C-alpha cells in the first residue's frame, strides 16, 4: 500500500495501520489474529492524539502505565505490548518511520504460570482407559494418542486430511498458525492405532477427506473432539480438567523429560520463538536434574 507517510515523516496513523493489516493478510495470518491486531491498535489510537511521527518511547510507556493504573491484568498489558511491537517493527522495517518508539520499552513482566499437564501416572491411566474395539473407541483412541504423541493443536488435528498421513514414514503434515506447514512424527503404538482406525473408518477414502469423521461421515467439530478427551479423562479417574491443550502441554513436558532438546521441541510444536518452549524446561527441572546427575561426565569418568 502506498502511504502519504514518507521519509519526511508526515502521515496518518490510520493509513499506517491499514498497511500493517494488509501485510498481515499477505503473510497468511488468521482472521482472528488480524482482528486482534486491529482491536489493539484502535484502543491505542483512542489514547494517542499526536501524529504518528510524534509517538515516542514515553508515549507507549505512559499508555501501558495508564492501563496498569486502571487495573488491567498483566496478561492484558503484555498482549497490548505484543500488538504494538508488531505494528511499530513493521513501520520501521518499511521505513514508514525512522525511529522505532517501541525499542527500549521493556515488555510487562508476567508471573510464571506453568501450564496444566498430566503426570506419568495419569497418562498411563488415560491410555488404559481408551481400550475397546467399537468404531467410536477405535477412533477416540487414535485421536487421544495422536495428541499425546505429537503435541498437535486441536484445529490442526481436526483439519488433517487422509493425504497428510504417511504411515510408512511415521509422519503427519500439520498446518499451524498462518497456514505454516510442519512435519510431526509418531511411534509404533500410534501407528497401530491409526492403522486400526483406517481399517474401520469407512466413508469416502479420497486423499482430501478428513482423517477423523463422525459415524455419519461428516467432519468433526472442535466441541466433539474436546468432549472425547474430557470423557476419556473422567473414565480414567482423572479429576482435573483435561482438554486437547492439556495433552499438548503434556507432550511437550514429557519430550523434555525424556531427553529432547528445546530447539527440536520448538519445531515440533510450531512455535516461532524458542523462548515460548522454555517453560517446559522449567517444568521438567527436577527430572532434568536427576538425569544430569545420573549421566554426570565427571562421575562416569572417575569411578
| Residue 177 among the catalytic residues | yes
139, 141, 248, 249: which is the annotated catalytic residue?
A: 248
Provide the CATH number for the domain formed by 13-93 in this structure. Answer: 1.10.150.130
Percent of the chain with pLDDT over 90: 59
User: What are the backbone angles phi and psi of residue 207, rounded to the nearest 5°?
Assistant: -65, -25
Q: Is 32 a catalytic residue?
A: no
User: Percentage of the chain with pLDDT > 70?
Assistant: 86
- Mind listing the pLDDT tens digit for each residue in 49-102? 788 888 999 999 999 999 999 998 888 888 899 999 999 999 999 999 989 999
133-184: pLDDT as tens digits? 999 999 999 999 999 999 999 999 999 999 999 999 999 999 887 678 899 9
Q: How far is CA 240 from CA 61, 140, 280, in A?
A: 39, 20, 20
**Among 161, 170, 182, 271, which one carries the catalytic annotation?**
271
Q: Is 136 a catalytic residue?
A: no
Domain ranges for the chain? 13-93, 120-293
Q: What is the per-residue DSSP string for 70-125?
A: TT--HHHHHHHHHHHHHHHHHHHHTTS-SS-TTTT-PPPP----PPP---HHHHHH
Q: Do domains 13-93 and 120-293 have the same CATH topology?
A: no
Task: Determine the Cα–Cα distance for residues 145 and 138; give it in Å rounded to an integer.
Answer: 11
Q: Note if 224 is an active site residue.
A: no
Whether 248 is a known active-site residue: answer yes
* Annotated catalytic residue 46: no
- Decide yes or no: CATH 1.10.443.10 for domain 120-293: yes
Q: Which of 80, 153, 249, 257 is catalytic?
A: 153
pLDDT digits (tens, 9 = 90+) for 181-206: 899 999 999 999 999 999 999 987 89
- pLDDT at residue 280 greater than cutoff 70: yes
Residue 27 pLDDT class (50, 70, 90 cuts): confident
CB 157 within 8 A of CB 169: no
User: Quick one: residue 9, left, alpha or beta (phi over 0 = left, psi -120 to 50 = alpha)?
Assistant: left
Query: pTM of the predicted model, to two decimals?
Result: 0.63
What average pLDDT does the structure give for the chain? Answer: 86
158 touches 227 (CB < 8 A): no
pLDDT at residue number 111? 65
Q: What are phi and psi of 250, to 5 degrees?
A: -65, -45
Per-position b or e across 230-258, b if 16+ CB within 10 A of its CB: bebbeebebeeebbbbbbbbbbbbbbbbe
Amino acid at each position: 500500500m502506498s502511504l502519504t507517510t514518507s521519509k519526511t515523516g508526515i502521515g496518518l496513523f490510520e493509513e499506517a495501520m491499514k498497511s500493517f493489516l494488509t501485510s498481515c493478510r499477505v503473510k497468511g495470518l488468521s482472521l482472528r489474529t488480524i482482528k486482534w491486531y486491529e482491536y489493539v491498535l484502535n484502543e491505542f489510537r483512542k489514547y494517542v492524539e499526536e501524529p504518528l511521527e510524534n509517538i515516542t518511547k514515553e508515549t507507549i510507556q505512559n499508555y501501558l502505565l495508564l492501563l496498569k493504573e486502571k487495573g488491567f491484568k498483566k496478561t492484558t498489558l503484555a498482549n497490548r505490548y505484543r500488538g504494538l511491537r508488531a505494528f511499530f517493527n513493521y513501520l520501521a522495517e518499511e521505513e514508514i518511520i525512522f525511529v522505532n518508539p517501541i525499542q527500549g520499552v521493556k515488555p510487562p513482566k508476567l508471573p510464571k504460570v506453568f501450564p496444566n499437564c498430566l503426570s506419568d501416572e495419569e497418562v498411563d491411566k488415560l491410555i488404559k482407559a481408551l481400550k475397546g474395539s467399537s468404531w467410536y473407541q477405535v477412533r477416540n483412541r487414535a485421536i487421544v494418542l495422536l495428541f499425546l504423541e505429537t503435541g498437535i493443536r486441536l484445529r490442526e488435528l481436526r483439519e488433517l486430511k487422509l493425504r497428510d498421513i504417511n504411515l510408512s514414514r511415521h509422519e503427519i503434515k500439520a498446518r499451524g498458525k498462518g497456514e505454516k506447514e510442519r512435519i510431526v512424527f509418531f511411534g509404533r503404538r500410534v501407528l497401530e492405532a491409526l492403522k486400526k482406525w483406517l481399517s474401520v473408518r469407512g466413508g469416502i477414502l479420497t486423499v482430501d477427506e478428513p482423517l477423523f469423521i463422525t459415524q455419519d461421515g461428516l467432519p468433526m467439530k472442535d466441541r466433539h473432539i474436546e468432549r472425547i478427551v474430557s470423557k476419556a479423562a473422567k473414565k480414567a479417574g482423572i479429576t482435573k480438567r483435561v482438554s486437547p491443550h492439556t495433552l499438548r502441554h503434556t507432550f511437550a513436558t514429557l519430550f523434555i523429560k525424556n531427553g529432547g532438546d528445546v530447539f527440536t521441541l520448538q519445531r515440533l510444536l510450531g512455535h516461532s520463538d524458542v523462548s515460548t518452549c522454555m517453560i517446559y524446561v522449567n517444568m521438567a527441572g527436577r527430572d532434568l536434574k536427576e538425569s544430569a546427575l545420573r549421566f554426570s561426565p565427571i562421575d562416569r569418568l572417575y569411578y
